[in-house]
């Protein structure tokens, strides 16, 4: 009889352990997972390697050049165009030219969006000397006194960044 009770207790004990094990394996836990996707915007290609202007200030005209820029982005972005005059090339005599270049550059921007994330922008860059000189006759006189200038005057800089 003792053996039967002992065997019965062992069977009950084994059944309890298997039920406890089974209940533990069926539990579930939710662990939150966060994925961070960085935003980016970058110039993919530019269809002109160089923009060389022949600037004749004796008869200033609005000279424009079309530049096509392909931008790859996964977020909203901004494009900024600046003219970077190389100040070290200018001395006191042609400081008026430096000021004219910085005050007369202009640009306009057109956009073609695509579903693939590649956006094509067309940028018109140029100088509007006539308006600046018409509004500032003193600068015109300073430029005429300076004479001819045949060195590089600066670069157009295109910067693409994610919109804030």
Residue ranges making up the domain that contains 91: 24-162
Q: Residue 19 domain-assigned?
A: no
Question: What percentage of residues in the chain have a pLDDT greater than 90?
Answer: 0
Instruction: Please tell me the total count of domains within the chain.
Output: 1
Provide the pairing of β-strand 77-85 with 41-46.
Answer: unpaired
In angstroms, rounded to a whole number, what is the distance separating the alpha carbons of residues 12 and 18? 10
Q: How far apart are CA 20 and CA 17, in angstroms?
A: 5
The predicted structure's pLDDT at residue 26: 59
**Is 75 within the bounds of a domain?**
yes
pLDDT of residue 57: 65
pLDDT in tens, 39-54: 888 888 888 777 777 7
The first and second tokens of residue 13, run together, are: 């004990």
Residue 28 lies in a domain: yes
User: Percent of the chain, pLDDT > 70?
Assistant: 83
Q: Which residue has the higher pLDDT, 102 or 24?
A: 102
Q: Is residue 107 part of a domain?
A: yes
114-117: long-range contacts, CB 8 A cutoff, minimum separation 24 = 117/72, 117/73, 117/74
pLDDT for res 58: 63
- In degrees, rounded to 5, the angle at the alpha carbon of residue 143 between the alpha carbons of residues 138 and 145 is 95
Is residue 6 in a domain?
no
DSSP letters for 44-103: EEES-S-------TTS--EEEEEEEEEEEESS-EEEEEEEEE-GGG--STTHHHHHHHHH
Q: Which of 62, 91, 95, 89 is nearest to 154 (CA)?
A: 89
- Quote the mean pLDDT of the chain: 79
């Amino acid at each position: 009889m003792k053996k039967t009770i002992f065997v019965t207790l062992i069977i009950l004990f084994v059944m309890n352990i298997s039920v406890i094990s089974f209940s533990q394996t069926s539990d579930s836990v939710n662990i939150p997972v966060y994925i961070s996707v960085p935003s980016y915007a970058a110039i993919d290609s530019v269809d002109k390697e160089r923009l060389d202007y022949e600037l004749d200030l004796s008869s200033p005209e609005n000279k424009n050049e079309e530049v096509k820029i392909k931008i790859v982005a996964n977020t909203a972005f901004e494009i900024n165009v600046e003219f970077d005059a190389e100040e070290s090339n200018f001395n006191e005599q042609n400081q008026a030219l430096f000021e004219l270049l910085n005050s007369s550059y202009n640009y306009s921007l057109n956009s073609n969006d695509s579903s693939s994330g590649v956006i094509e922008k067309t940028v018109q860059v140029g100088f509007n000397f006539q308006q600046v000189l018409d509004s500032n006759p003193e600068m015109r006189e300073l430029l005429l006194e300076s004479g001819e200038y045949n060195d590089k005057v600066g670069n157009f800089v295109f910067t693409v960044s994610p919109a804030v």
